Structure 1
């Protein structure tokens, strides 16, 4: 059976499950057992998970535990506790397809969906919107964007700088709510910049490039994209700026720019 035909069968099965309100014949207790086994697996293999994330993304162990393992365990515990109320009269089914932009485009071109909700980049969002338009399928797009921070003259600058630098260095800045740019009152701007330097020094006394406590970007393409944005900027680099594409590394960087700078146009 071709891949496209398999996808079509899966979509048809999902539609059938939605209409008939019938799903896989798992009882409530069996579902709870599955969730408990998954929770146990996470507990038993914390070290292996953290090691794998470090090998893939140079992700520090404390970040892996805080942002990946413990949050997943909390989600599982919540679902185990509230499973009955969550499944009452809400029978449905979820089909999972692995792939990137090309696979997504093929899936949309080969099937008619009732509604599409997408979270991700603007580039892929445009592809999804274009394919959905061919069938007039309603679409909701939650895309990457700018995440501003405003600092007025009365702010506690050392505390503000520490919080912003923590949010920006967590997962090497790759979280959707990470601070993206700062609107700072001119009276405290230089103080803020100096505090950012001090905070980074306290976080990473030996720098970030060879530090196991600072992560890497997801892949070389995104690394090069960010470097190209930095190089095309007309702003002044005030903090950081070094990078290494092959290592998927970019130093925490602060650039002083004008509102119309290229860095202000993308996430």
Structure 2
């Protein structure tokens, strides 16, 4: 910790907004980043496997592919996004030229999570740098192999006055948050998000908080149950359920519950075989603390499937819980693991009661062939992002803003939304001097009556 603090003090004093580095130079840095990642793909995938046995396919699809997509978009669009935008002037300022400039914030702190430790660290960092900021990244200490790779990548690609990685645990994060930053980007849990927001408020620092919540998945009686089961199982069990936008619990119409449960079990075993602990495609829980937290949720619950625990391997079998109480251990907080409670309903009031029992979720999923009903329910509830007839895939469309509401977060990013997050709009008005109408200057005399007559010109 002491060494990290000393490095931080020296490095933060050295960091500066590098907007003087032109857009083309930043694009060249992004190309260098992409090339470096491509040349070290295997090391990155090996690090992800070492941290929690994430398969190479899943690592490439959920970490590298998403990163390449973001880099390519910024390389293609950065010049266009960075140009000043001309806006119509007001008659009151005639003659003038009015612009909106996109200005980098300056020194940015990015605190990254452990569940997707590469892409959820590198993507906000590359966006912030592309926008003209300098960045200090604090990777998660819970995924040390990936954290080491992140340090290697960023220090190899970017000058240290533009990007620097500080390793460490909670003490390092606490120290970082005591410093004054121009912007803070945090991805993680709701409790820590509140700590970050409080620390940022001390310096009136703007923040983006990407948090989580209990994401409901509604399955009505009209749903294509086979497709629903396949897509729910995939969205829930990718990364062993350690995904902030994964379905957290199912609300299924009572008359189709039994059939859905059978299909869910079939899909689990089709994806990972009956010997799931031996599947090369099924990851592990990140550490013993999270394993114990998840194991506790299974106490005193009726299980429809699963429940096997292998503590020495940090393995938790995909598990379906039958009709837990809304105040039970499994329903208190975001599960963040391969445990899926299933609750049945008979009418919309029960759905509404269950969802509104919890703070606004990060995601909401509805499976229904009744398009009118699905759209109505999407409008009914507050959430960060929603999908009809699928799960989690809204994350990959960079044209959609990604972010939460209330307890599930504040601020949005991905694609151009990342550009807008890591810059602020600066208004610039250029008045001409070839004419200067006297109307606005005192003495005002009887100008008030004239102003009232022409007010429609200015409003």
| TM-score of the superposed pair, with normalisation by structure 1 | 0.83
Q: Residues 50, 4 of structure 1: CA spacing in aligned structure 2 closer, same or farther, 3 A cutoff?
A: closer
> After the TM superposition, which of the residue ranges 51-60 and 87-96 deviates more from structure 2?
87-96
- The answer (yes or no) to whether the contact 2:211–2:244 under 8 Å persists in 1 is no
In the alignment, structure 1 residue 240 sits paired with structure 2 residue 322: no
Q: Which runs of 5+ in 2 are unaligned?
A: 84-101, 105-131, 139-167, 335-459
Q: 2:229 and 2:280 mapped to 1: Cα distance?
A: 22
Correspondences of 1:39-118 after superposition (within 5 Å): 39-88=34-83, 89-91=102-104, 92-98=132-138, 99-109=168-178, 111-113=179-181, 116-118=184-186
In the alignment, structure 1 residue 36 sits paired with structure 2 residue 102: no
Q: Which runs of 5+ in 1 are unaligned?
A: 18-22
Q: Residues 209, 78 of structure 1: CA spacing in aligned structure 2 closer, same or farther, 3 A cutoff?
A: same
* Aligned match of 1:263: 330
Secondary structure, in 3 states, of the residue corresponding to 2:175? helix
More helix by share: 1
Counterpart of 2:255 (choices 181, 187, 209) is 187
Correspondences of 1:214-253 after superposition (within 5 Å): 214-231=282-299, 234-253=300-319
Q: Residues 210, 25 of structure 1: CA spacing in aligned structure 2 closer, same or farther, 3 A cutoff?
A: same
Q: 2:39 and 2:302 mapped to 1: Cα distance?
A: 48
- The answer (yes or no) to whether the contact 2:229–2:260 under 8 Å persists in 1 is yes
Q: 1:87 and 1:44 mapped to 2: Cα distance?
A: 29
Secondary structure, in 3 states, of the residue corresponding to 2:217? strand
- The answer (yes or no) to whether the contact 1:151–1:182 under 8 Å persists in 2 is yes
Q: 1:8 and 1:174 mapped to 2: Cα distance?
A: 34
Query: Which string of whole-angstrom CA distances, capped at 9 and with x for unpartnered residues, describes residues 30-80 of structure 1?
Result: 332322222223333333332332232211122112111122111111111
Query: Which string of whole-angstrom CA distances, capped at 9 and with x for unpartnered residues, describes residues 136-175 of structure 1?
Result: 6666644221111011112121211111001111111111
- The answer (yes or no) to whether the contact 1:171–1:214 under 8 Å persists in 2 is yes
Cα deviation for residue 260 of structure 1 reads: 2.2
- Root mean square deviation of aligned Cα: 2.7
- The answer (yes or no) to whether the contact 1:10–1:95 under 8 Å persists in 2 is no
More strand by share: 2
> After the TM superposition, which of the residue ranges 141-150 and 159-168 deviates more from structure 2?
141-150
- The answer (yes or no) to whether the contact 1:152–1:185 under 8 Å persists in 2 is yes
| TM-score of the superposed pair, with normalisation by structure 2 | 0.51
Q: 2:193 and 2:40 mapped to 1: Cα distance?
A: 35
Q: 1:133 and 1:35 mapped to 2: Cα distance?
A: 32
Q: 1:195 and 1:128 mapped to 2: Cα distance?
A: 42
* Aligned match of 2:392: none
* Aligned match of 2:188: 120
- The answer (yes or no) to whether the contact 2:188–2:210 under 8 Å persists in 1 is yes
**Structure of higher RCO (CA pairs closer than 8 Å, 6+ residues apart):** 2
